Chains A and B, each alone.
Chain A
Amino acid sequence: MNTATHTLDPHAGHAHHPTGVLRWLTTTNHKDIGTMYLTFSLLMFFLGGAMILAVRAELFQPGLQLMKPEFFNQLIGVHALVMIFAALMPAATGFANWMIPLMIGAPDMALPRLNNWGFWLLPPAALLLTMPFILAIFGIGDGAVATGWTLYAPLSVQGGIGVDFAIFSIHILGISSIMGSINIIATLLNMRAPGMTLMKMPLFCWGWLVTAVLLIITLPVLAGGVTMLLTDRHFGTHFFNAAGGGDPILFQHLFWFFGHPEVYILLLPVWGLMPHVLSTFTRKPIYGHTAQVYGFIAIGVLGLIVWAHHFMTAGLPVPALLYFMYSTMAISLPLAVLFFCWIATMWRGAMSFETPMLFAIGFIVLFGIAGLTGLVLADVAADAQYHHSYFVVAHFHYALFAGGIMGVMTGVYYWLPKWTGHMYSEKLGKLHFWLTVISFNFTFMPQFFLGLAGMPRRIPDYALQFTEFNAISTVGAFVLGLSQLLFAWNIWRCVKGGDKATDKVWEGSNGLEWELSSPPPYHSWDTQPVIKSTP
């Protein structure tokens, strides 16, 4: 005789998870961890933003008004490290955690416990990075790292305890990134639903796969470089000390071998996301799926061999300069393929302009400016003029704010209804977009002109001739910073309630993730989907 002692409900176990603080400390659920990454990223975005607003306030007019130059340098360095490692990278990892299992039909990430550890390494790392500010208040040390995010030797060899804190923070952030990368590679390669071949994998996943491989190849170089810096500082080695037979330029090679691919590490997930958003709001299939996959791979490979264009003025031999100039310019080719595919996806589509689409179009236009000014900087002759000027500052903010952060905002608006089950306020979203785009250009466009006019970066005081553009830039920065409160408010409102989102959310959305309910069940994909169609 057979007896059933339980009534079998396929969803019976779905509510079985810890609640309260324990849920967030111990969770191995990809959605919980994704939410934590995104929340952490938003907090760090505001922290890094607050730091740079203080810097812009100092730069509002010439002369020293608000802070000492040492503190100014610390704010700039920590702003960059926080924005890159604690805001942008965790945002992309949050997207990966939330969306990759949903997109490939997997129940969770391949190594869920590793996923939990990877996240919980971030808060102590952020604390290490910012703690020297607090220690300095109590008279311990001389503040945070003041070398800029590049930690160039020999300046960093001579710096205070902030450098040590930054080195340990970078190590921990690196371990976290490695854990995330291994997990993402394992998930994408091993847990795809039956029928989902690699070439059928969504482009967002492809962007992340190339990113994860780049991280695995480049992070040991950064880890080695900062460890050598640490031994130079405290253990009597002379890796970067010319007086002891070392080579300070070696540090620049080590740093930028990681630092340049880092740009693509920040941008590839966003480039992978864009085709999905454009396809959704043009109600057309993605144009050139295969071309974009090869574009990502080409950018990843080229990104590994062009690092020295960041220090072409450091005295490299002429053949090296020519090589790095041409190889850097070659990156524009696969990038042009991506731009072409994005525009071709929109071409003659039935476009509508919801907030994610506005951000996507804003991204394409403004990131295009980053690409074009990058070409100028790649030119070895022109770079001799522009290097270490505000032109570079403007260029990389067009790349990392317009390309990275606006890309993240695109993703948040695009997927927020899926995550929360509620629609955000379109009115607030559009207001946020227009304020962001206008104030962003007011902030950074003048910096191109400042750079062309010869204003160097990383200075708290400047010549009178730069006053007007700096004032405009500061006003723009404050509007830009305050506009982001709308973003946070809109997210908060959406999390708390709002119009119910449908499962598909958008009329033109297409992909496995839209087959699940909004919000998706705690355990995704009870029944494994089988993929039959082409991407």
Chain B
Amino acid sequence: MAITKTEAAGAQEWTARPNCSLTPTARRNLVCGILAASLLVSGGFLLAGAWLVLPFAGLELAALYIALRALDRADSSSETIRLEGDRLTVTTRFLGDARQYSFSTAWARVSLEAGDAPDPLICIRSHGRSCQVGRLMTPPQRQQFYSDLSRRLRS
């Protein structure tokens, strides 16, 4: 998991993303390479009369594609927390589902609460609305971010 922190005049922004060592281009090349090799082999056997190899190759490539798509969706997840003026804005993207929450810095309360993750998540709440962040952070990163955000909200 990677957290990037940017600071501009009067604004701080933290963005957490899953670690991803495969670039989209490399992923495309990988799929194309395996597809080409697999089609070459199954095409050769098709010409030799063993046409049943082709559907199995197709099924397998479909499974590979679905797995990589699932990874792609997971890799595009992010959590962005922006602190600017008197607004605290949280934008989360998980598996294509984007949500945004906005809180007043004067009223926002930050706490660590047990969620569906194995370790406590950071909960931000105000006026009956709440959101959880930290799913894309490791526990030490979450601890660091929690301290950082609490300190800035207090100041």
Task: Give chain A's interface residues, CB within 8 Å of chain B.
Answer: 1-6, 8, 10-14, 16, 106-107, 110-111, 114, 178-179, 182-183, 185-186, 189-194, 196, 213, 216-221, 223-225, 227-228, 231, 239, 246-247, 250, 253-254, 257, 304, 523, 525-528
Contacts and interface: CB of A to CB of B under 8 A. Distances in A.
- Give the interface size bracket for B toward A: 35 or more
A5 B150 CA distance: 13
B22 A526 contact: no
B139 A8 contact: yes
From DSSP, what is the main secondary structure of chain B's interface residues?
Answer: helix
B21 A219 contact: no
B103 interface: no
A101 to B, nearest CB: 12
5 contacts: A191-B21, A220-B42, A228-B52, A253-B50, A254-B50
B134 to A, nearest CB: 11
Interface string B51-95: 011111101100110011011000100000000000000000000
A528 B19 contact: yes
Given A191-B19, A526-B138, A1 B109 contact: yes
Nearest to A7: B112
Contacts of A217: 34, 37-38, 41
B101 interface: no
B118 A523 contact: yes
A175 to B, nearest CB: 9
A2 B117 contact: no
A186 B67 contact: yes
B10 interface: no
B111 A225 contact: no
A216 B150 CA distance: 50
Given A6-B113, A220-B60, 10 more contacts: A2-B150, A11-B139, A14-B118, A182-B64, A186-B68, A191-B20, A223-B53, A224-B42, A228-B52, A527-B138
A488 to B, nearest CB: 34
Given A5-B112, A216-B64, A219-B60, A224 B118 contact: no
A224 B50 contact: yes
B99 to A, nearest CB: 22
Contacts of A106: 19
Interface in B95-110: 109-110
A220 B141 CA distance: 44
Given A6-B114, A192-B21, A224-B50, A528 B1 contact: yes
Contact of A225 (B50, B60, B138, B154): B50
A44 to B, nearest CB: 25
Nearest to B141: A527
B53 A190 contact: no
A13 B41 contact: no
B8 interface: no
